[in-house]
Amino acid sequence: MSAPVEALRDHLAPIEDLKAAAAVLTWDQETYMPDGGAEARAQQLSTLHSTAHERFVADETGTLLDRAAEALDAPSPLDPDAALVRVTRRDYERAVRVPSSLVAELSKAKSQAQQAWKQARANDDFSHFAPHLEQLVDLSVKKAEAIGYENEPYDALLKEYEPGRITAAVVSLFDTLRDDLVPLVDALDEAAQIDDSALRGTYPQSEQQRFGRSVIADFGYDFDQGRQDVSAHPFTTSFSPNDVRLTTRYDEDNVASALFSTIHEAGHGLYEQGIDPALARTPLGEGTSLSIHESQARLWENHVGRSRPFWRHYLPRLRETFPDALGDVDLEPFYRAINRVEPSLIRVEADEVTYHLHVMLRFELERGLIDGSVSVNELPDRWNAAMDDYLGVVPETDANGVLQDVHWSQGAFGYFPTYTLGTLTAAQLIESIEDELPNLRAHVADGDFAPLLDWLRAHVHRHGRKLTAPDLLERATGRKLAADSWLAYAQNKFGGLYGLS
Ligand code: ZN
């Protein structure tokens, strides 16, 4: 490493430390902090975030970047020094374009909006949240204008989560997906419904916890470099590749809920644990985008965890764990129950197939908010009309409708499409993996996940942020992101389950 690159790294490392410290405090806030700690914690987090931001946008970062760039010689895209300069430059240019007054205004508006959203949701009163949402839309448009964009302001917001992608490409990908997805959902809706009553019973939390942990340890999740705790909303956070934390929540009446949430979060966690340790304490030392992150979670959750070979191996063990509830449940009914498709109101409870429609609805509405074609006041009506149109179910309250997700109260416009992008990415990855590892399903049926994890480590995990999502996927699968792999997978799997022709 040249001296200028080393100087850049030395400048960035303490900034990464500050961000990791903030992540520890956030993890604690969501798991163990008593309610009384909330006010002090908000101040502590605000201090850490603003200190990290100020250090990063300082002129010194720009100067060190220029010097480091001059010291590079004809680097390959995977060269760590070149990637460090490229990715840090991208982050830096984005960060310095947003005036610090706007950063402060947004941060204040977000914390007020989150309080208002919680109250509005508890009281089913959208009008209490509406003025805050209007303000966040307004400030987000200002932010997009400050950053700059290709075709529309939403491009700038999407890039925060998905560098390398633009809105128009997402729109056309989603159009292709929708064309085949809607007829599939309609056909599944008309077929005889699957009985999933076997999943309900009494499943003590301690046994659920032990079972879930043994499964993800089999995957390769390393409990010496991570842990799992309980939180209201499951999430994964990383303080370094050697300390990656998962959370989940338990429902003692349903065996599927915590198990699939555990597998999902472990997918995120395996990604972070697999990043090249040499990238730690640099801006490269984390997952490259939300869609790639989500692809890792969905791959383990759906393509592994909701597959027949997986349950051929684990159902006997699950039955032993819960002999009263599951003692006489056979593989096929169980496999069918965990793959039941049913249009529903709540995104986070949606099945694999209808999930995309929840995402598309949110994407269309938030893109409309940002380009001005949808107003905040008409949002509840637009929401309900789209639910009726896409899913054929309409929420009776805004709490179960437009107010259900936290994202907009956090000003996170551009986040929702990454869920579907991630699911499509997972299907495209698994198709390539099955080509390269023809015995994959047999390995899964033996509880041997090493070949799969090794492939993901080599093609996805170790790179950290060196490659953008489009570059990573093209290297890993030989083609750009498309909907066809997921559509073929869904038509085959769910067509079979529901006896469609
Ligand atoms: Zn996820």
Using one digit for the tens of pLDDT, what is the confidence trace for 249-270? Answer: 999 999 999 999 999 999 999 9
CA 419 – ligand 1 centroid, Å = 8
| 165/158 Cα distance (integer angstroms) | 8
CA 266 – ligand 1 centroid, Å = 9
pLDDT on residue 133: 98
CA 258 – ligand 1 centroid, Å = 14
> Do both 350 and 486 map to the same domain?
yes
> How many structural domains compose the chain?
2
pLDDT on residue 91: 98
- 156 is a domain residue: no
Catalytic option among 16, 265, 286, 294:
265
CA 291 – ligand 1 centroid, Å = 9
pLDDT in tens, 455-488: 999 999 999 999 999 999 999 999 999 999 999 9
> Do both 271 and 183 map to the same domain?
yes
Q: Tell me the average pLDDT of the chain.
A: 96
pLDDT at residue 227 tops 90: yes
- 159 is a domain residue: no
Please give the average per-residue pLDDT across 27-44, as a whole number. Answer: 94
Please give the average per-residue pLDDT across 75-79, as a whole number. Answer: 83
pLDDT in tens, 84-98: 999 999 999 999 999
What percentage of the chain reaches a pLDDT higher than 90? Answer: 95
> Do both 239 and 181 map to the same domain?
yes
pLDDT on residue 198: 85
pLDDT on residue 73: 81
- Catalytic status, residue 265: yes
Please give the average per-residue pLDDT across 61-75, as a whole number. Answer: 92
- 153 is a domain residue: no
CA 5 – ligand 1 centroid, Å = 34
- 270 is a domain residue: yes
What percentage of the chain reaches a pLDDT higher than 70? Answer: 100
pLDDT on residue 76: 82
Instruction: Report the CATH number that the domain containing residue 364 is assigned in CATH.
Output: 1.10.1370.30
pLDDT in tens, 371-408: 999 999 999 999 999 999 999 999 999 999 999 999 99
Q: Which among 87, 116, 148 is the end of a domain? A: 148
> Do both 184 and 91 map to the same domain?
no
- 103 is a domain residue: yes
- 157 is a domain residue: no
- Across the beta sheet with 243-248, the strand order is 226-230, 243-248, 236-240
- 162 is a domain residue: no
> Do both 215 and 247 map to the same domain?
yes
CA 405 – ligand 1 centroid, Å = 14
pLDDT on residue 187: 96
pLDDT band at residue 75 under the 50/70/90 scheme: confident
| 38/28 Cα distance (integer angstroms) | 11
pLDDT on residue 151: 97
> Do both 306 and 455 map to the same domain?
yes
pLDDT in tens, 107-122: 889 989 999 999 999 9
* Residue numbers of the domain that contains 139: 3-148
> Do both 103 and 171 map to the same domain?
no
CA 264 – ligand 1 centroid, Å = 6
**What's the Cα-to-Cα distance from 154 to each of 105, 140, 170, rounded to whole Å?**
19, 9, 11
CA 244 – ligand 1 centroid, Å = 14
| 307/445 Cα distance (integer angstroms) | 9
> Do both 137 and 232 map to the same domain?
no
Q: Which among 120, 148, 176 is the end of a domain? A: 148
Q: Which among 148, 182, 201 is the end of a domain? A: 148
- Angle at the Cα of 478 from the Cα atoms of 274 and 470, rounded to 5 degrees: 65
**What's the Cα-to-Cα distance from 340 to each of 197, 260, 489, 494, rounded to whole Å?**
11, 14, 15, 9
DSSP for 60-80 reads HHHHHHHHHHHH--S--TT-H
| 488/430 Cα distance (integer angstroms) | 12
pLDDT in tens, 406-433: 999 999 999 999 999 999 999 999 999 9
pLDDT on residue 77: 81
> Do both 138 and 219 map to the same domain?
no
> Do both 179 and 46 map to the same domain?
no
> Do both 106 and 182 map to the same domain?
no
pLDDT at residue 501 tops 90: no
- 475 is a domain residue: yes
CA 245 – ligand 1 centroid, Å = 14
> Do both 181 and 97 map to the same domain?
no
